[in-house]
Chain A
């Protein structure tokens, strides 16, 4: 494993891309623009996963999120007419209450992240370790291995969830059943 190079630069670059993408998602009028901003943010997040030595999750993020889910979003945006929605008011009547609630939540986050107990921060200096060379194999062992795997049952339940979601989506989107 090579030691990381210019970690702060890449972290702030990717973090800035993510935050700007997120802001664009919630402020654009055109839903297609929002979707493109969200794709940018998701790709930047895949970069952050790589910085955290999680290559498998980064690959899943790109293929499944940026490639699969966002294409589904774009398809649906094309199916519904967005011209009318663009001309309407973009924010609802409770937007001030929403902002205040979000600000309260942000204050809660700040309070938690700056809490110190006995002089130690709640999340102490986590030294990032170098990644293991067999990240994907270890995830597979956790998911599938008969003896060491703890998530095999959860994995099967997830497949059931996906089956239910497929049937649900077809039933919802079909004209008459």
Chain B
């Protein structure tokens, strides 16, 4: 009980792992491209949570004031923004050509 009530870095890591798994399940099982992209956002957010938690953990053990994890989290958010813009642009082009948002229909490159 004490382990559950005393919030440590591991709690945040477990939460990040749970969100990562939810995102992976969404990417692997859903057919709607929009929801697949949202699941990718979930995965990126799980990584961000781990980065910020480890940033705080690093300060706890080393006593240093370096915030490298938080800077990395900001870079990941930048990447997420770029990825969302390009992904949604591709999605619009795809919808214009095929009139559907179903990933199973994206098979032009299939050999």
A60 to chain B, nearest CB (A): 6
B56 touches A85 (CB 8 A): no
Interface SS of chain B: helix
In the complex, which range does the number of interface residues on chain A fall in? 35 or more
Interface SS of chain A: helix
A169 touches B88 (CB 8 A): yes
A-B contact count (CB 8 A): 242
Q: Give the number of residues in B that approach A within 8 Å (Cβ atoms).
A: 77
A19 touches B18 (CB 8 A): yes
Complex Cα spacing A76 to B37, Å: 12
B residues adjacent to A (C-beta < 8 A): 4-15, 17-26, 28-32, 34-35, 37-39, 41-42, 45, 48-49, 52-53, 55-57, 59-61, 65-68, 70-71, 73-75, 77-86, 88-93, 95-96, 100-104
8 A-B interface contacts by CB (under 8 A): A38-B41, A84-B100, A91-B29, A98-B29, A106-B21, A127-B8, A132-B65, A165-B83
